Structure 1
Amino acid sequence: MSLTSTSTASTTGILLALAGQAGCALRWDPQAACWRWPDPQGGQLYAWPQHDGKAAGARLLENAGVIACCRSGRMLLGQGKRLGMVELTPAGQPGRPLQAQVLATIDAAEARTVISDGCTDRHGNFVFGTANTGADQRPIGSFYQYSTRHGLRRLALPVVVTARSIAFSVDGTRMYFADAARGGIMQCRYDAERAKVGEIREFAQAPERGAATVDSAGMLWSVQAGGLAQYCADGHLRRRIALEQEQPSGMAFGGVDTRQLLLLGVRGGLYGLPPALAEELAPGVADTPFDDGPAAVADSQRRRQGD
């Protein structure tokens, strides 16, 4: 089926795996050649190998809603108000509960906020946002950058009810973000080294604002209204794709040459797109792993000693 500008298509996704009640965080792990996602209610971190029909879960001692792959092979987790790091059990070894090493506590004085979305930028820093879980639903959520070198730095972006749609342009100089509760998808200029933002403006109006990612053609993909929306770099809506089986909550590019776009459903289904549709899409952009390597750790230690 050929899709033209601003077209709409409804598709029966190819069910690849079914596990738990999924959140919005789906990631391709190139080191382990598998897809990973957390179950934020069931305390599981799932992995589905590229050519295996069964998802395997590892139990977390604390629920996680956001994840990122690390350069070392470990996993960075957003767990409520804390960022943590876990060592993953090698394939074939007996499973054990994963205890996260706490890296940072976010907004400790405000009990209502939790980490709600996040991903690495093109330089290997983790950029994330928080949400107000209180009944008042006031906009008290913020956006942050975390790195081993610089620690936690707040980004000067507007406060939100629920931070969502965090993604970065191919060259990493532009950041996308949104409030899931109101407004449209926003964009801003982004300086990864200084954790500075500027030129904040609306990128596109959107009926819903969920997980987001950017493909190699510079187009933004957004989970919304029961499916996916694809936007050109100028914010023009190019196409919508509805998933018939269940409402998607997350998505990610991955696989060989980052050519697969997989969807994560709200009931835990992991779906691929039909080949005729998938072949029309540009490849994705591989995530830059979170930089937890020896050089970053050493630099962080030098900074602390100098304080």
Structure 2
Amino acid sequence: MYDIEVAVRAHARLGEGTVWDADAQVLWWVDIWSREIHRFEPRTGKHCQWQTPHEPGSLALRSNGNGLVVAMSNAIHCFDPSTGMFTLLREAYDANWPARFNDGRTDRQGRFWAGSTDTRENAPAEPVAALYRLDTATHLTLQLDRLFCSNGLAWSPDGTRMYHADSHLRRVWCCDFDTATGELAQRRLFIDMSEVGIPDGATTDAEGCYWIALWQAGRILRYDPDGDLMAQVELPTRAPTCCEFGGENLDVLYVSTANLQRGALSTDVTDPLAGSVLAMDARVRGVRSMPYCG
């Protein structure tokens, strides 16, 4: 059994995008449907939030403590928490395109990767979501296309393997990753989750194992580098969305969650912890997140 506690008793409609700032010892995450960025300091319990002009899918720290980079709607922006101001960095596609940014993370070299999700209600025959890479020179390039819902981004500790999921297809792939160029090769199936659940946000630990949240299933799963299930963590809420290692020793796994009643603005009485951020003793250390270096 894992020791699990409530880190932030929040009411996020769709909490996502957990990122740990090891220097400041704070956790960042977003609430997509409420258009909010959140910051939590475990040492003091201080919890701050900012409104965003569009739906934020993911974020990353910027180098030298220079705020954040945030993937919102159809574009990537810089965000200054001290002023609450956003500055457009790069657009990925036209604002009328039926997709929005979703899961994203930095690789071990500080490039920011952000995937999108198809926003049409019924799954189309030709999906329009994609995965993009923002290099340190602020050059945005398309890496994978024809996706339904890009998710589950993570890298091995040495950065030579990238993991990526499509929630709709219930599959996780791994790719050989060129750390010098950021190019992908030999994309192959890592986990077929068709009989397991819907893969959502993910991270890796220092032992090279892959941790992934199961949307609507109330579980976090840990897989070894060969794709074999190592551990299964039952959570006290139904909709975990993303996970990230934090704490002074990077051995606390923070888990963002969501309220399955999409339009609800109050707590789901059948799932009172929906929308909160959970924290658990992972019994293993994570790998420090890199800031975006652009």
TM-score bracket, normalised by the shorter chain, equals 0.7 to 0.9
**Amino acid of the structure 1 residue aligned with 2:76:** L
Q: What is the aligned counterpart of 2:210 among 206, 220, 241?
A: 220
Is contact 1:185-1:203 (8 Å) kept? Answer: yes
Q: What is the aligned counterpart of 2:139 among 148, 151, 155?
A: 151
Q: What is the aligned counterpart of 2:73 among 71, 80, 86?
A: 80
**Amino acid of the structure 1 residue aligned with 2:218:** G
1:112-141 deviation per Cα after TM superposition (whole angstroms, max 9, x unaligned): 011111100000000121111013423221
**Shift of residue 104, structure 1, vs aligned partner:** 0.8
State the match for 1:287 in structure 2: 289
**Shift of residue 16, structure 1, vs aligned partner:** 1.8
Distance between the aligned counterparts of 2:180 and 2:86, measured in 1?
A: 27
**Shift of residue 110, structure 1, vs aligned partner:** 5.8
State the match for 2:190 in structure 1: 203
Distance between the aligned counterparts of 2:138 and 2:50, measured in 1?
A: 30
**Amino acid of the structure 2 residue aligned with 1:226:** G
Q: What is the aligned counterpart of 1:122 among 95, 105, 108?
A: 108
Distance between the aligned counterparts of 1:102 and 1:143, measured in 2?
A: 19
CA shift in 2, pair 1:87/1:198, >3 Å: same
Q: What is the aligned counterpart of 2:278 among 266, 271, 282?
A: 271
Matched, 1:41 2:33: yes
State the match for 1:131 in structure 2: 117
Gaps of 5+ in 1: 2-10, 90-95, 293-307
Is contact 1:12-1:244 (8 Å) kept? Answer: no
Structure with greater strand share of residues:
2
**Amino acid of the structure 1 residue aligned with 2:110:** G
Distance between the aligned counterparts of 2:25 and 2:182, measured in 1?
A: 31
Matched, 1:234 2:226: yes
**Shift of residue 153, structure 1, vs aligned partner:** 1.4
**Shift of residue 59, structure 1, vs aligned partner:** 2.7
**Amino acid of the structure 1 residue aligned with 2:111:** N
What's the Cα RMSD here? Answer: 1.9
Distance between the aligned counterparts of 2:156 and 2:146, measured in 1?
A: 22
Distance between the aligned counterparts of 1:183 and 1:25, measured in 2?
A: 19
Distance between the aligned counterparts of 1:164 and 1:264, measured in 2?
A: 14
State the match for 2:47 in structure 1: 55
Distance between the aligned counterparts of 2:180 and 2:233, measured in 1?
A: 36
Distance between the aligned counterparts of 2:107 and 2:132, measured in 1?
A: 12
Matched, 1:26 2:14: no
Gaps of 5+ in 2: 259-273
State the match for 2:261 in structure 1: none
Is contact 1:45-1:60 (8 Å) kept? Answer: yes
**Amino acid of the structure 2 residue aligned with 1:271:** L
Distance between the aligned counterparts of 1:269 and 1:77, measured in 2?
A: 21
**Shift of residue 283, structure 1, vs aligned partner:** 0.1
**Shift of residue 282, structure 1, vs aligned partner:** 1.5
> Is the deviation greater in 137-146 or in 225-234?
137-146
Is contact 1:153-1:195 (8 Å) kept? Answer: no
Q: What is the aligned counterpart of 1:167 among 154, 163, 173?
A: 154
Distance between the aligned counterparts of 1:134 and 1:147, measured in 2?
A: 29
CA shift in 2, pair 1:233/1:37, >3 Å: same
Matched, 1:243 2:250: no
CA shift in 2, pair 1:13/1:257, >3 Å: closer
The structure whose Rg is larger is 1
Structure with greater helix share of residues:
1
1:62-105 deviation per Cα after TM superposition (whole angstroms, max 9, x unaligned): 3312111111321110110010001122xxxxxx5x22111111
Distance between the aligned counterparts of 1:113 and 1:61, measured in 2?
A: 16
SS at 1:72 equivalent: helix
Distance between the aligned counterparts of 1:53 and 1:33, measured in 2?
A: 12
1:259-303 deviation per Cα after TM superposition (whole angstroms, max 9, x unaligned): 211111213211122xxxx26x210001111103xxxxxxxxxxx
* TM-score normalized with structure 2 length: 0.86
Distance between the aligned counterparts of 2:189 and 2:88, measured in 1?
A: 35
**Amino acid of the structure 2 residue aligned with 1:290:** Y
SS at 2:147 equivalent: coil
State the match for 1:179 in structure 2: 166
Distance between the aligned counterparts of 1:145 and 1:196, measured in 2?
A: 10
Is contact 2:16-2:31 (8 Å) kept? Answer: no
